Amino acid sequence: MTKVIVTVMFCLLFCMAALMAGEKSIFDFTLNTIDGQPAPLATHKGKVVMLVNVASRCGYTPQYTALESIYEKYKDRGFVIIGIPANNFGAQEPGTNQEIKTFCQSKYSVTFPMMSKVSVKGDDKTPLYQFLTDKAASPKTGGEIQWNFTKFLVGPDGQIITRFEPAVTPDAPEVAAAIEKALALLKH
């Protein structure tokens, strides 16, 4: 009888801990802004978020134009893009955070939030990208980042909706459709 009680108590405690922990989301992470200030992603709860690992010297760098365009189109409806510089592919983001900021503003007039440079692949991968690429937790969208300008679309609950590989431009019909569908989830 005692063994049964202990087993039941253990199960109850385990279930309570699981419920209290809740489902992990992007809102559990904090990055630093391009200016070095802490930027908890939880400040974007209730919005549709697109996370993009960016680079200044990449063949996909012109996607900044389309990223800024869709940001301007949807930002008043609860959409935000977060640019996350990374130097993991072909050393295509070698600059300092200040150099990256200046480049993005002067060449592409970027107004969406930009974060400090991080690693999105390898042993020093930032915790946010450990979460985003976790194939076990997210079988449909997980997997290693293959190149710059991989885009993760995240719902207002902080859960990953879909992933677009670098060759899919931010203004592609499938991206617009996914953003529109996600924005429809917002309560206005």
Residue among 152, 149, 140 at smallest CA distance from 26: 152
Beta strands in the chain (DSSP E): 30-32, 38-40, 48-54, 79-85, 151-154, 160-164
Whether 11 is catalytic: no
Q: Is 138 in contact with 129 (CB distance < 8 Å)?
A: no
Question: From CA 105, how far away is CA 77, in angstroms rounded?
Answer: 23
Of residues 11, 15, 58, 104, which has the active-site annotation? 58
Residue among 115, 112, 109 at smallest CA distance from 86: 115
Active site residues: 58
